[in-house]
Structure 1
């Protein structure tokens, strides 16, 4: 498969994903506000924050925590 074909396929899939998101916006919003999403997001955001702090030697720990808290407030139910 040529690079151009891969690019076209990726663009087609992105368009389909966007259309799916538009058609199911309410369901997606409900899923993002669920208890399950809260648990998953806590694990992912905590891991990402730990990695960022490890890579930076904790130099930006306050900023990392602010970003983590901001994102956590947008996903899940807590």
Structure 2
């Protein structure tokens, strides 16, 4: 178990950095995902459109979770500790 705990301790700061980058550049990431999905859809001549759209949506949702965008009303946070909610925001879904 020492190895797992050691890895978690080392990856903790990296997760915080990635979360901050996702929060800061989320719009660019979304545009990139949309552009990639469109290109792949064109290359496959629409054969996998459903799967491409589904995968793109899942990737965007994962990116939003990583950026801690629990509230999609436009408030992107940026202040505070990752994993906490701000006063007045809804609690995370269980």
User: TM-score under structure 1 normalisation?
Assistant: 0.59
User: Secondary structure, in 3 states, of the residue corresponding to 1:50?
Assistant: helix
Q: Secondary structure at the match of 2:26?
A: helix
Question: Which ranges in structure 1 are unaligned for 5 or more consecutive residues?
Answer: 1-20
**How far did residue 57 of structure 1 move?**
0.6
1:51 maps to: 39
Does residue 25 in structure 1 map to residue 9 in structure 2? no
Structure 1 match to 2:62:
74
Q: Distance between the aligned counterparts of 1:26 and 1:54, measured in 2?
A: 34
- Which has the larger share of helix? 1
Unaligned runs of 5+ in 2: 1-9, 73-94
Q: Which has the higher contact order (CA 8 A, sep 6+)?
A: 1
